[in-house]
Chains A and B, each alone.
Chain A
């Protein structure tokens, strides 16, 4: 469904990605792991059209490299950005509504709301609250909920466990698995190696902007060499 071939990106001469080639098949959870500064977030931003890239990016056979971010979003790719990036002064329901508005002119665009509430019942209790008043975990739920309102086919999550209490991390990872089971393909970037590899089907290990290892998530999780060499653990 998603294919990157030799993708490179740089920030003012600093090479963040070099010759990255990855594929994501429909219905998979693919994890991208690596140390800080390995280029994981840049990879997701590159797919979403938020940073300039060279190389080929295809989504369902459509080349999307260089396409405007809003058009990529309308194709069904949605990024839950690092740090959640909610609209802090808008209410929970308005945040969700903005996700729904990404679907142009559809009458049933509020339909995913039931699904969002089923995944995250807490959100339904806090509809009128400003997003900034939510706890870290609730904010992450809202960020994922907002993304689901766009009815994405590919959901990209950047560090969903960041700044969240451990008990809620499990809830969020469980929700990600359920979202996949509903037919949404997932590309997950995480610092928490063990947890993310446990829910992923396949994984890529990134180091200084290059893919240094790829394979089944279980194999990578089992490989002690990987931990020591690339992840510093």
Chain B
């Protein structure tokens, strides 16, 4: 029974390395700036969705307020860079640490609620964060902060025209979140978290510390979401509450994981790869008409997946594998 699992986990790791290598090669033949930008944004969301998945998927705590970690991550690293000159290579760890701590702070009251009540509480927390930053002069309030260009640098992740470095930075982010999820999935923690997700009472009677499990999952999820925010801020060069803390971000972070498959290793990445290009392409080709056709298509796609494959797109892969195993 253990050997099967070890073999499966090794296979997943090998697949992970192959996918990583493929994603590293992907932008090389593409010279088009628009497509490269699309890849970068897709990777960003893949990483953010995986971070969300650690809490929402593995531990089953549906957060609809993750924009607060994303936004605060943006602000922490940007402020460190603008005010103290600390480059993002270090700032992103600070952003992660602050957001991890923030997740604990949010979790302390919110995890006393369960199910839908927890989700509603996170929406409120996200809105509080948005309003706070909108009116806080120290962080630029509604005008936001420009990230000054101080010359090309990997440490500060600043490049005038190149897109490729950002692609690799985001890819590293995706890899880090994926490995975190892979480690969690095979660890004692991962099992405890899934137990909490499926039945908190039964988990408790087996000696699982339910509250502590949720807090740990939230902290790790918050950490990575904050790191993603730090990278994003450096990429776009300008942040304000509307572009990084708005409630819609919370939904956008969760959607790829939900569409791709909640609580699975590959769901968030697959979800992002399908969702983000569709959303971008439909916006550029169909948006702007003022009739919201792009949003209709986008929404329709999600409804379609929810109806046809409620376990997410990743379950399509499972079908083939199961058929294969039955044949063997």
B-binding residues in A (CB < 8 A): 48, 50, 68-71, 73-74, 78-79, 81, 85-90, 93-94, 97-99, 101-102, 110, 113, 127, 146-147, 150
Chain A neighbourhood of B116, CB < 8 A: none
Distance between B186 CB and nearest chain A CB, rounded to angstroms: 11
- CB of B30 closer than 8 Å to a CB of A: no
Residue pair A150, B206 in contact (C-beta under 8 Å): yes
- CB of B199 closer than 8 Å to a CB of A: yes
Bound Cα distance from A93 to B8, whole angstroms: 14
Residue pair B194, A73 in contact (C-beta under 8 Å): no
Give the nearest-CB partner of B206 in chain A. A102
- CB of B77 closer than 8 Å to a CB of A: no
Residue pair A94, B194 in contact (C-beta under 8 Å): yes
Residue pair B198, A90 in contact (C-beta under 8 Å): yes
Residue pair A98, B201 in contact (C-beta under 8 Å): no
Bound Cα distance from A169 to B263, whole angstroms: 35
Using known A-B contacts A87-B194, A90-B194, A90-B198, determine if residue A81 contacts B205 with beta carbons closer than 8 Å: yes
Q: Which of B2, B198, B201, B209 contacts A70 (CB 8 A)?
A: B209
Give the nearest-CB partner of A71 in chain B. B207
Using known A-B contacts A101-B191, A101-B192, A127-B1, determine if residue A81 contacts B209 with beta carbons closer than 8 Å: no
- CB of B195 closer than 8 Å to a CB of A: yes
Chain A neighbourhood of B208, CB < 8 A: 70, 98, 102
Distance between A53 CB and nearest chain B CB, rounded to angstroms: 16
Q: Which of A89, A94, A110, A127 contacts B191 (CB 8 A)?
A: A94
Extra contacts besides A73-B204, A90-B198 (7): CB < 8 Å:
A48-B205, A70-B207, A73-B206, A88-B198, A89-B194, A110-B2, A147-B206
Give the nearest-CB partner of A75 in chain B. B207
Residue pair A73, B205 in contact (C-beta under 8 Å): yes
18 sampled A-B residue pairs with Cβ under 8 A = A48-B205, A50-B205, A69-B207, A70-B209, A73-B204, A73-B205, A73-B207, A79-B205, A86-B202, A87-B198, A88-B198, A88-B199, A89-B197, A97-B191, A98-B203, A98-B206, A102-B206, A147-B206
Bound Cα distance from A86 to B1, whole angstroms: 19
Using known A-B contacts A93-B1, A99-B206, determine if residue A87 contacts B195 with beta carbons closer than 8 Å: yes
Chain A neighbourhood of B291, CB < 8 A: none
Which of A68, A81, A87 has its CB near the most chain B CB atoms (within 10 A)? A87
Residue pair B202, A85 in contact (C-beta under 8 Å): yes
Give the nearest-CB partner of B199 in chain A. A85
Distance between A35 CB and nearest chain B CB, rounded to angstroms: 24
- CB of B188 closer than 8 Å to a CB of A: yes
Residue pair A85, B201 in contact (C-beta under 8 Å): yes
Chain B neighbourhood of A73, CB < 8 A: 204-207
Chain B neighbourhood of A85, CB < 8 A: 199, 201-202, 205
Residue pair B191, A86 in contact (C-beta under 8 Å): no
Question: What 3 pairs across the A-B complex have the smallest Cβ distances?
Answer: A73-B207, A87-B198, A85-B202
Chain A neighbourhood of B207, CB < 8 A: 69-71, 73-74, 102, 150
Residue pair B204, A50 in contact (C-beta under 8 Å): yes
Residue pair A81, B1 in contact (C-beta under 8 Å): no
Residue pair B204, A89 in contact (C-beta under 8 Å): no
Bound Cα distance from A74 to B207, whole angstroms: 6
Give the nearest-CB partner of B198 in chain A. A87
Give the nearest-CB partner of B204 in chain A. A69
Bound Cα distance from A74 to B194, whole angstroms: 19
Q: Which of B188, B198, B199, B204 contacts A101 (CB 8 A)?
A: B188
Bound Cα distance from A86 to B206, whole angstroms: 11
Bound Cα distance from A110 to B3, whole angstroms: 13
Bound Cα distance from A146 to B207, whole angstroms: 12
Using known A-B contacts A70-B207, A73-B207, A110-B2, determine if residue A87 contacts B188 with beta carbons closer than 8 Å: no
Residue pair A98, B205 in contact (C-beta under 8 Å): no
